[in-house]
Structure 1
């Protein structure tokens, strides 16, 4: 039996993650007020050093509640994630109806460039978080 697997691009995966993060951000304040529990960054809690994704929960909650300035102050990367989240559902719908062709897997060079680009974004986010939480 030959099963054809559908290729899902990195932006689509990030967009789907953004949708899940947005949905969780809508429910998160209810959860924290009911339980008193939070989601501290394990690296920051144990070593006092933030990870590149520190503040993403705070930024997501602020963004889904319309506080763009608060979201950017917590983690500016949330804006890119939100942009991908907004575009992924229409894109997937267009792909399902065959209006837009499915993405082709990238070649080794494009993958390497994507990996370097994501690494640079993570490094920039880490510098931002270090400045925000440690150096200030």
Structure 2
């Protein structure tokens, strides 16, 4: 498989390298606006109060925690600056927030410089992320992993 046939798209600049800076930053700014709005909503509407958000369907049907269980509570705590509670609610979610922040920052730097950024994870990276999520899910549902319960 050559580099051009990979399924992952190039990110920024959305416009040609010679285009104005505001145009190169429009897509990353739009994505940041959407993510900030989602975090603002979760920060304002407390997921710890019943009735605001639906219960996880996997947890409701089986009593098992999925990898996302506790994610809204963790995001709420993260928005309010309570990092320890956010980590307790969903450590994988906090890692994803920080990973997003790093990738977004690199994307913006590339856009400012007028260079495209290509997300091109190798299959081993994708399998590794999948294995991490699977192990996290399994451990949090076993008795010794009780500390990972949301």
Contact 2:43–2:75 (8 Å) recurs in 1: no
> What count of residue pairs does the alignment treat as equivalent?
118
* Structure 2 spans left out of the alignment, 5+ residues: 1-7, 12-30
Once the two structures are TM-superposed, the CA of residue 66 in structure 1 deviates from its matched residue by: 0.8
Q: Alpha-carbon deviation of 1:26?
A: 2.5
Q: Give the alignment's TM-score, normalised by structure 1.
A: 0.66
- Specify whether residues 35 and 128 from structure 1 end up closer, same or farther in structure 2 by C-alpha distance, changes over 3 A only: closer
Which residue of structure 2 lines up, in the alignment, with residue 54 of structure 1?
Answer: 69
Unaligned ranges ≥5, structure 1: 9-15
Any idea what the Cα deviations from partners look like across 1:37-60, whole Å, max 9, x if unmatched?
223211001111111221111111
For residue 97 of structure 1, give the secondary structure of its aligned residue in structure 2: helix
Considering fraction of residues, name the structure with more helix: 1
Higher Cα Rg, which structure: 2
Query: Residue deviations 1:58-100, cap 9 Å, x none?
Result: 1111111111111111111123212223223332222223355
- Contact kept? 1:25, 1:57, Cα under 8 Å: no
SS in 1 for 2:118: coil
Aligned-pair RMSD on alpha carbons? 3.4
In 2: Cα distance, 1:31 partner to 1:104 partner? 33
